[in-house]
Every structure is written in structure tokens, then in C-alpha cells.
Structure 1
């Protein structure tokens, strides 16, 4: 069983800029790494549930996925473009209300069901890489856990980068947000290709 293509896809898809990664980095930069742990826990729980749902969705509707994938791609692209514009137009961290914790476990969990990158990640990884390797329940559980662990590792890495490069990010917040927005736009457009 060769899982190298799956791991390559999962690492590239997880570590590229996306809503989870950018939120983890920004919040860690503003509040510290420990404050993002509930958010990352929510992301992990939501991601794992999406991986399970993607697996069973693929099992049930395997013959229909090629027909609905273009519509999912367009919806995902539009949502990511919206997030990119929001990031590029965001106000400096000092202008935001620091008393409100918008990055809770529940927010991280719920975000996964609105995040087309995670949904497309799950559908693509499961349908293209996992299902051809096997379709048993144990197989689905193991690969869903693996894909979730890779995704959460990306969130934690982006969060740590937010903390480690805090002074740089605060000094160059506006240009950095513009670059992150452009990278998110590139990620969004790559969904359509």
C-alpha cells in the first residue's frame, strides 16, 4: 500500500493558507499560543467529523461525486475569495476588542462546516486516495484520524509562527495581511483548476 501520494496531498493542502491557518496565526500573534488551543481543539473535532462524513458520503454516493464536485469547487472558491477580501481589509489588531474571545472550541468546530477548504480536502483525499486503498470501517477511521492529525499540525504550526514572528507581523501587519489575502486567493483559484 503506497500512501505517499496521500501524505503529499494532505501536507500540501493542510499547510497552505486557509481560514483555519490564518485565524490560528493571527489569534496566536495577538493573544498567545495557549489562547488558540481551544480553537484548535474545535478545528480538530470538526475536521475529524468532516473526514468521517466525507468517508461515508463517498461510500454512499461514489458514482455521483464527479457530477457535484464542480459545484462544490465553485462554492468553495467563492467563500475563500470572500475570506481573502476580509483579511485584506481587516483593521490592525490594536483596533479590535481584546475582551471578546471569538476563537473558542465552538467557533473552531463550527468553522469547519463553513470552510470549503476542509470540506474539499476531505472529499478529495477520501475519494481519490483513501477509497482505492480500502473501504472497511477500520480503514476509514484510521485515515480520517491521519488526515485530521496532519490538518491540526498545520494549524499549530501556523499558530507557533504567529507567536515566533509576532514583532515582525505587528510591524508589517497591513502588507502581511495583503500577502495572506493574495495567497488565499491563489488557493481559492487553485480549487477551480
Structure 2
């Protein structure tokens, strides 16, 4: 029997908690508004959908080769997300200025392939909740579509938060940018595995 409650609990917890996609969605929407951030959001969910499909279709193969590519993925993903965090921190507050290059479809799409946490989410959700119960291509597509829809709701909620609290975020823009940037950098450090070598 399909474990519906654990599946939904895992999906919503992993999707709605702070992460690179949600933080960048909020930051971009705060700067440019929801409508102008929509291309970025569509890039995020398109990349996420692609990752889910690949994870489902090549689940067994990915599990076998993950140990060999995980280090590369962690380093590359950590550097890319760290770059995004630094870019958010050094934002000068110009709504159409230098930060515009971070608010487009390609950035949203490519982020998914530089985010080992998202890739591992796709692999684990397929390996533990879907593949054991449903193996047809149609099932994989339908589950991927559902998970992508949830992801779109998540990034949209974070983006709308950035818009609704625009006045507050604008008033404290520098502090907010530093906080969001540091959260992205923390995500990058966590993803890259550096935290394993830091003894608190």
C-alpha cells in the first residue's frame, strides 16, 4: 500500500522549508515584483521537473554512480549557490540594475542542476516512495508533474511573501539582503560538505 502520509509529509517539508530556490524567489520578487519574477519561477520548476524525470527514469543507474559524482556535484553546487548568495549580499538595491541577470528562466533552470540537495531529493523520493509502487512511464510523469506543481506553489508563496512585505523589505533592504545571502551561503556550505570538517 502506498505510504501517502509519509510521502506528503516528506514532500511538503522538503519543498516549503528555506532553500536556494525559495530564497532566490523571494529575493527576486522583492526586487522586481511577482510578474517579472515569473520567468525565474518557471525556470525553477522546469528544471525541477527535468530532475525528477531523470531521477525516475535512471534511478537504478544514478544510485550506482552517485558515489563517484557526488563530490563533484557538491563542490560545483556549493560554488554556484555561494555565488548567488554573494550576489544577493552585494545588491545595491537597484531594481533594474546588476541583479537583473539573476532573475531569468535560464538561472532558475540551471540552479536545479547545481543543487545536489534537489537532485538527491529527486532520487530519494523516486527510490523510496514511487519506484517501489509504480514503475510505468506514465506514473513517473504524473508523480513528477504533481511534485513540480507543489514546487511551483512553494516558490510562488515565497515570491509573494517578498512582494507583500515589499515595504518592510525595502526599508530594511540591506539587512534582508545580507540575511538572504548568508542563508544561501549556508546552503552552499552545507551542500558542499564543508560542515563535516568544521568542529563546533
| TM-score interval, smaller chain | 0.7 to 0.9
* Contact 1:79–1:116, Cα closer than 8 Å, also in 2: no
- 1:67-119 C-alpha deviation (Å, 9 max, x unpaired): 54455344433433333233233322358259x67533344334433344433
Aligned-pair CA distance for 1:162: 0.9
Aligned-pair CA distance for 1:160: 0.4
Report SS of the residue matched to 2:18. coil
**Residue 33 of structure 1 aligns with which residue?**
34
- 1:107-142 C-alpha deviation (Å, 9 max, x unpaired): 433443334443333223223433333322222112
**Residue 168 of structure 1 aligns with which residue?**
168
**Residue 80 of structure 1 aligns with which residue?**
81
- Structure 2 distance, partners of 1:7, 1:55, is 18
Aligned-pair CA distance for 1:172: 0.9
* Contact 1:55–1:140, Cα closer than 8 Å, also in 2: yes
TM-score (norm 1): 0.80
The aligned runs of 1:1-193 (5 Å cut-off) are: 1-65=2-66, 68-69=69-70, 71-94=72-95, 96=97, 103-191=103-191, 192=193
- Structure 1 distance, partners of 2:95, 2:51, is 34
- Structure 2 distance, partners of 1:165, 1:81, is 25
The answer to which of 132-141 and 76-85 deviates more is 76-85
The answer to which of 113-122 and 63-72 deviates more is 63-72
Aligned-pair CA distance for 1:37: 2.0
Change (3 A) 1:77 1:111: closer
Unaligned runs of 5+ in 2: none
* Contact 2:3–2:129, Cα closer than 8 Å, also in 1: no
Aligned length: 192
Report SS of the residue matched to 2:135. coil
* Contact 1:28–1:36, Cα closer than 8 Å, also in 2: yes
- Structure 2 distance, partners of 1:127, 1:110, is 23
Cα RMSD (Å): 2.9
- Structure 1 distance, partners of 2:68, 2:10, is 22
- Structure 1 distance, partners of 2:4, 2:98, is 45
